[in-house]
Amino acid sequence: MDLALKGKRALVTGSTKGIGEAIVRRLAAEGARVIVHGRNAARADLLLNALRAEGADAALALGDLNTDAEADHVVSQALEAFEGVDILVNNAGRFFGQPWVDIEPAEWNSICNNNLTSMVCVDYVLQSCRNP
């Protein structure tokens, strides 16, 4: 399948395992230049090396997206890698792992911060880069 992604620059947050890894692998298979994102350097390096061994043009952006400063750092790494980002896939997130009614308020806030705020931070920083 040709999705006309050859040469496009894609940042996939939370892409070191699971759905994010599958997305970054598919984008790479379509010829996109992919930026692997994660918090675990060892796991990210494994995927980065595997993608490169498969012929992908891949880079790495490490960091936690739960604060503006860290999101800014991740986006800076992504922008440096390929001098821009054409595709953003906000995949980073956590799942509850138990019925939501059983979750303590502090944990609820942490999950919401991880799943929502991280996406807003990354998108905001990228938009700022496009519209100075």
Are 62 and 38 in contact, with CB atoms under 8 Å apart? Answer: yes
What is the Rg, in whole angstroms, of the alpha carbon atoms belonging to the chain? 15
Report the CATH architecture of 9-130: 3-Layer(aba) Sandwich (3.40)
Structure tokens at 11: 């940042």
Q: How far apart are CA 29 and CA 38, in angstroms?
A: 20
**Nearby residues of 15 by Cβ (< 8 Å), 6 or more positions away:** 21, 23, 24, 34, 36, 37, 38, 47, 89, 91
Structure tokens at 114: 């991880």
Residue 11's pLDDT is 94
Amino acid, res. 97:
G
Sign of the Cα torsion 66, 68, 71, 73 reads negative
Kindly give the confidence (pLDDT) of every residue in the chain, 132 residues in length, as a single tens digit, with 9 standing for 90 and above. 778 899 999 999 999 999 999 999 999 999 999 999 999 999 999 999 999 999 999 999 999 887 778 888 998 999 999 998 999 898 887 776 778 788 888 887 777 777 766 666 666 666 766 655
Residue 39's pLDDT is 92
Residue 129's pLDDT is 61
Structure tokens at 84: 């821009």
Beta-bridge partners for 11? 35, 88
Task: Give the global pTM.
Answer: 0.82
Instruction: Name the helix (H) or strand (E) containing 60.
Output: strand 58-62
Residue 22's pLDDT is 97
